[in-house]
Amino acid sequence: MDVNISIIVPCYNQAHFLEEALSSVLKQTYSNWECIIVNDGSPDNTGEIAREWCEKDNRFRYLYKENGGLSSARNAGIKISKGEYILPLDADDIIGKSFLATLISELIEDKSLAIVSCYSKFFIENTSNIVNELKPKGDTYHYLLYVNQLVATSLYRKRCWVEVGGYDEQMKTGFEDWEFWLAITKQGWKYKVIEEFLFYYRKSKKSMLVDTINNHFETTKEYVFKKHSDIYIKDFDNCMTVLFHQLRTYRSSEIKIKNSIEYKIAKIITKPFKLVKKLYS
């Protein structure tokens, strides 16, 4: 089958959302695609749902692998893909009907582009309940240094994935897409953002992004900075300004908390318990 776009859908414990994501693929106005559903060793019924979709339309393909994380699942799907262009799509997100048609035309027309993205809407439960909007900026790696402007579901050339060696499989706690975009664009490639809302991101209380921000933000960011130290050294003065601004912001927040009435009351309440603990230690 001659395909132009390979859509990679990694799935781990999200079978309950998978139907909605795959339906959005099937509804695309652009038809020259394949969709590879990668079961990353999921203990739920991902395999059952995936096989049903493969029977429904032969453009859907199914791959099972042992659990290895999001980067590993994406890489596994891309390795067996046939398309010239790649679109990662998380199993709980949705693309608008004209997503593929709109984005691929940009990549075909402009050979300097590696990645094309778009405006995004964040939703809870269904796409009629929009809680946030994302309008990314820029066109080179300079815009990506300190803020990831591009959502993971952006269309890119497969040759770029080959050039940088795929997604970094050591990154299992998030931000792997940010690092991937940096790796590509620092080679001189550009990206473009379509100013249309064509992507819908499911906002969840429990998600990889939430876990990264709450538990792995500093260590993951440090890893990215060190891995791509060459571009951060080039931007040294600005880099120091950004990092020290973050430190001052954190320190200011900490001082505000310690000076708050709630903090002082909590300190008074817990003081007797600390004294008792000291006596018995």
* pLDDT tens column, 50-60: 999 999 999 99
What ranges do the domains of the chain cover?
5-205, 236-280
Kindly state the average pLDDT of the residues 171-193: 96
Kindly state the average pLDDT of the residues 138-142: 97
Tell the burial category of 166 from Cβ atoms under 10 Å away from its Cβ (0-12, 13-18, 19+): middle
Residue 207 reports pLDDT greater than 80: no
- Can you give the pLDDT at residue 1? 52
Q: Residues near 158 by Cβ (< 8 Å), separated by ≥ 6?
A: 6, 78, 81, 83, 84, 85, 86
pTM of the shown model: 0.85
Residue 213 reports pLDDT greater than 70: no
> Could you give the CA distance from residue 166 to residue 93 in angstroms, rounded to a whole number?
22
Kindly state the average pLDDT of the residues 61-78: 97
For 23: left if phi > 0, alpha if psi spans -120 to 50, otherwise beta; the answer is: alpha
Residue among 68, 151, 55 nearest 103 (CA) = 151
In CATH, which superfamily holds the domain spanning 5-205?
Answer: Spore Coat Polysaccharide Biosynthesis Protein SpsA; Chain A (3.90.550.10)
CA-based radius of gyration for the chain: 22
Residue among 124, 92, 75, 130 nearest 15 (CA) = 92
DSSP string, 164-180: HTSS-TT--SS-HHHHH
* pLDDT tens column, 88-135: 999 999 999 999 999 999 999 999 999 999 999 999 999 999 999 999
Average of per-residue pLDDT values in the chain:
90
Strands 85-88 and 155-157 come out as antiparallel
* pLDDT tens column, 217-260: 789 999 999 999 999 999 999 888 988 877 887 777 666 666 66
* pLDDT tens column, 19-37: 999 999 999 999 999 999 9
The model's confidence at residue 277, banded by pLDDT at 50, 70 and 90, is low
Choose the weakest-confidence range: 79-83, 209-213, 215-219, 224-228.
209-213
Helix (H, G, I), strand (E, B) or coil at 150: coil
